[in-house]
Amino acid sequence: MRDKFLSFSLPLVGAEEIDEVIAALKSGWLTAGPRTRQFEQEFRDAFHCPAALALNSCTAGLHVALKVLNIGPGDEVITTPMTFAASVNVIEHVGARPVLVDVEPDTLNLQPDAVAAAITPATRAIIAVHYAGHPVELNSLRSIAEEYRLELIEDAAHAVGARFEGTPIGSGTNFTAFSFYATKNLTTGEGGMLTGSQELLDRARIVSLHGMNREAWSRYAAGGKWAYDIVEPGFKYNMTDLQAALGLQQLRRFDRMQARRREIVARYNEAFSRHAAFLTPSSRSHVENAWHLYVLRLRAGELTIDRNQFIDEMTARNIGTSVHFIPIHMHSYYRDRYGYHPDDFPVAHTAFRSMLSLPLSPSMSDQDVADVIEAVLDIREKHGRRRMAA
């Protein structure tokens, strides 16, 4: 057993990030400024985005997207129950109604047919979440959005670096929101990026900073003018140069970090796919999975313990895990407000009861990976059902 607890997802931060943050501190520009703009430009170029806007969270990006698209009271937005609450909370924030539909059994992404069946005259948009880093079926959802004249917003909190049919997530003209939270594939501690067409991003930039027609960067830099105008009531959602300093260096090591994630996933798959007790994550051939999460599912009837007990056993072996996610319709606010029952979305509910996320981070050593595999297989050995000989 390990002597030291292995955290579920430690970020990989090195001397380059530390030096860049120190340089930002010494520059005298701490809030949104030159490094934030540089990070936007380098992110845009790295993932072939039409335009990019750095924000303080992915949640802010989703909220701004809904506001820019004028979605509000009386409107419906279709999304998934298999996501973190932020994806759905923002719909409530603008006064619209979230409409949940079930997910696909393998990827746990939105079922396109269920999306189409849920459309009503009040439907205005789809928020598609790229769950665990596996892209949704974008072609199907784009076709549905076009047919019914809906807005398609992509929640790519898990999907930086993912590709659909060879095209990077975020390279489309529709709004796509990314997360740089501490556990994400690319981190700024807290932070996010909103991408989309230049026209959409021009409006989003105003909405994201108090509704001002000019940023502090242009007002306070050398030769800047003090006057500004509030053209609409906006929000305080900007990223800081301290966060962007982290992001710039994370972006430069991103390909190496992703390669390490794929190495760990390959070792997990090789170890677990041979055992009937486990269902390893799916990855369809026409996508490149970002592998933000490694979600292992326990097959019903193959173990004498349930998912919660399995997690307890992992903790006892000093291995951190998590669950992604408690489905939205099972949280008290949404359950009570909309009268949901757990089995209203049976695929999501069944998956939730069997899933746990294993440690997955480029900061993990080979020994860390071996310790996770040993712990999982040891629990299976001790708690697997014994089959009677025929």
Q: If pLDDT is split at 50, 70 and 90, which confidence band does 219 have?
A: low
Q: Based on the fold, state whether residues 179 and 162 are members of the same structural domain.
A: yes
What is the span of the domain harbouring residue 133? 15-252
The span from the CA of 159 to the CA of 168, in Å, is 9
Give catalytic residues, as residue numbers.
184
> According to DSSP H, which parts of 284-341 are helical?
307-316, 332-338
Query: Could you say which of 208, 231, 252 is where a domain stops?
Result: 252
List, in sequence order, every residue forming a beta bridge with 104; answer none if it has no partner. Answer: none
Same domain, 198 and 64: yes
**Could you tell me if 248 and 264 lie in one domain?**
no
Q: What is the pLDDT of residues 139-172, one digit of tens each?
A: 999 999 999 999 999 999 999 999 999 999 999 9
pLDDT value at position 389? 46
User: What per-residue confidence (pLDDT) applies to 228?
Assistant: 85
pLDDT band for 78, please (50, 70, 90 cuts): very high
Q: Is residue 389 part of a domain?
A: no
Number of domains in the chain: 2
Model confidence band, residue 221 (pLDDT cutoffs 50, 70, 90): low
DSSP string, 275-300: -TTEEPPP--TTEE-----EEEEEPT
- pLDDT in the model for residue 378: 98
- Confidence band (pLDDT; 50, 70, 90) for 64? very high
2 is a domain residue: no
> Structure pTM?
0.96
Residue 6 lies in a domain: no
Regarding whether 146 and 91 lie in a shared domain, the answer is yes
Say which DSSP state 110 is in: B
pLDDT of 263:
98
pLDDT of residue 390: 47
Please check whether residues 259 and 178 belong to one and the same domain.
no
343 inside domain:
yes
Q: What percent of the chain has pLDDT over 70?
A: 96
pLDDT of residue 16: 96
Considering the domain architecture, whether residues 26 and 119 belong to the same structural domain is answered as: yes
Whether 4 maps to a domain, the answer reads no
325 within domain boundaries? yes
Residue in the block written with tokens 């997690």:
311
Same domain, 141 and 246: yes
Average pLDDT over residues 239-246: 98
Determine the pLDDT at residue 387.
59
**Edge-to-edge strand ranges of the sheet holding 278-279:** 278-279, 294-298, 355-358
Distance CA 157, CA 178 (A): 4
Output the pLDDT for position 227: 82
pLDDT over 70 (residue 388): no
Both 234 and 258 in one domain: the answer is no
**Residue 34 belongs to some domain of the structure:** yes
How many helices (H) and strands (E) would you count in the chain?
A: 14, 13
* 359 in Cβ contact with 292 (< 8 Å): no
In a domain, 7, yes or no: no
Domain of 378: which CATH number? 3.90.1150.10
Residue 355 DSSP label: E
